[in-house]
Amino acid sequence: MNFLVRLLINGVVIYYLSNVFNGVHVSDFLTAIIVTLVLAILNTFIKPLLVILTLPITILTLGLFSLVINTIVMLATARLIPGFEIDGFINAFYFSLILSILGWIINKLAKE
């Protein structure tokens, strides 16, 4: 049940952020839910591999390269889902950064 609530909340956040950012386009709310699911799957299986492969760069940049990894995962999600488009790396970077911050806040509030 908790997973479904988080899925819906993240879908709302993605849909809202797509209306705020000019370079991010989500066709409808169902697409935002699908984006949330695909992001969860990619973050579970692909992101750890990317983190391991880029560990030396991440250490040299004191962890800031993980923001680039989040952006790559976001761009991969945009390529996989029709109806979800991101116009360029910078837009994906800012979108994933804001989404990560809001996701962290939501998880903190959900635990309390």
Q: How many domains does the chain have?
A: 1
- Check residue 109 and give its pLDDT: 83
Q: Tell me, what's the pLDDT at 1?
A: 55
Domain with 44, as residue range(s), is 2-101
What is the C-alpha separation between 92 and 48, in angstroms, rounded? 19
Q: Can you give the pTM of this predicted structure? A: 0.90
Which is nearest to 52 in space by CA: 38, 40, 69, 67? 69
Residue 109 lies in a domain: no
70-96: per-residue pLDDT in tens?
Answer: 999 999 999 999 999 999 999 999 999
pLDDT for 25 equals: 96
Question: Tell me: the pLDDT tens digits for 35-77?
Answer: 999 999 999 999 999 999 999 999 999 999 999 999 999 999 9
Is position 47 within any domain? yes
